[in-house]
Amino acid sequence: MAKCIEKKFFQTEWQGVGFDNLHVKLSKSEMPTREFYDKFYINFFNKYKRYSDLPDSWLSVKKNTAISIYNTFSGKKEILSFGCGIGFVESVIADLQEDLLIDAFDFSEISSKWIKHSSKVKCINNLSEDKKYDIIYLCQVFYAIPGDECVNILKSLSTKLKAGGLIVLIDTSIIPSENGSNKMLDFIYKMKNTFDFIFTDSIIFKNIFDFGKKKQLWGWQRSNYKTSEFVSKAGLNLYKQFPSDNQSFTLITKSKI
């Protein structure tokens, strides 16, 4: 199996909020617009009033992910979450260390409705030119960045690191074993990928399978090797990659440790 894999994937809803109810134009070739996210979060916060309203299974996964992220920098103080979304991961991390200071960045000004009241989390929509961080993490964010922008994002974020600082990427690899699953699932994935290529990715079958479906391009599923390519092209050091919580963690430094 080729290791350098990148494949688009699509969504029709998130947390039960259907995209076709947002009354915005959906695209299978372009990522969601700011208008999309603003309308999505308005609908989302109408459906849910607090974190505890969200599915227990989702909360459990995110809580475990937050603990795993914290374990990569335990004892450090100045943290940047790049792409915090609704901020649940940040709320968990903030409770794990008394003197922790988290800047939670997101492009949407609406998504931080619940987390902005935390005394240990500062919600921001712009990055300071001068502030440096011990740790910058992107939790389930990197997949939403187009390949031609990944290198530039890494380069830009690396300028915000303190000496000895760390960038942590948390995503779900397209190769199951890279998320900690049994390698037998790699074979199943390969067969599914072949099926998708023959049937759903071909022009003839694509028109049949997609008929009447309203989908939004949601990002790119990538292998760890593809992620490591971006790191190398950014002139950074791939310190470590490891599976945790059925996801893949990539730790990046500015230079070799």
Task: State residue 74's pLDDT score.
Answer: 83
Q: Two tokens at 188? A: 């199943």
d(CA 187, CA 159): 40
Mean pLDDT of the chain: 89
d(CA 160, CA 156): 7
Report the 3 state secondary structure along 179-248. HCCCCHHHHHHHHHHHHHHHHHCCHHHHHHHCCCCCCEEEEEEECHHHHHHHHHHCCCEEEEEEEECCEE
d(CA 164, CA 241): 18
Tell me the HSE value of 223 on the side-chain side, using a 13 A CA sphere. 14
Q: Which residue type sits at 39?
A: K
pLDDT of 28-52, one tens digit each?
999 999 999 999 999 999 999 999 9
| Spacing of C-alpha 39 from chain mean position | 20
Topology adopted by domain 33-172+218-253: Rossmann fold (3.40.50)
Give the phi and the psi of residue 163 in degrees, each rounded to 5: -60, 130
- Enumerate the domain spans of the chain: 33-172+218-253
What is this structure's pTM? 0.88
Q: Determine the average pLDDT of the residues in 127-140.
A: 95
Are the beta carbons of 104 and 88 closer than 8 angstroms?
no
Q: Which residue has the higher pLDDT, 125 or 196?
A: 125
Provide the pLDDT confidence category of residue 203 given band limits of 50, 70 and 90: very low
Cβ neighbours for 113, distance < 8 A, ≥ 6 positions apart = 41, 45, 86
pLDDT of 206-244, one tens digit each?
544 555 568 999 999 999 999 999 999 999 999 999 999
